[in-house]
Amino acid sequence: MTIPAHRIAFGEHLRDLRREHGWASQEAFAHHVGLDRTYISGLERGTRNPTLDVLVKLARGLDVTPSDLLATVE
């Protein structure tokens, strides 16, 4: 399966934001937001397709807005 460009852009931005906001490991961030590490990994690689509810959860965990989380997505 080819991963859509918007998922790649989202995943890279999520990874950047996670690191910028002090969560060096996917494991620690996953625990912080109440999601599984493998799911965070899939989001960052673009293989998972998060719902609005998950986007809101991720944004709150990073202390950014949901809109910020999609800033690089076209």
The contact set with a second copy (CB under 8 A) reads: 4, 6-7, 10, 49-53, 55-56, 65-71, 73-74
Is 64:4 a contact under the CB 8 Å cutoff? no
Looking at beta carbons only, is 25 or 68 nearer to a second copy?
Answer: 68
Looking at beta carbons only, is 34 or 53 nearer to a second copy?
Answer: 53
At closest approach, how far in Å is the CB of 10 from a second copy? 6
| Tally of CB atoms within 10 A around 57 | 16
At closest approach, how far in Å is the CB of 26 from a second copy? 18
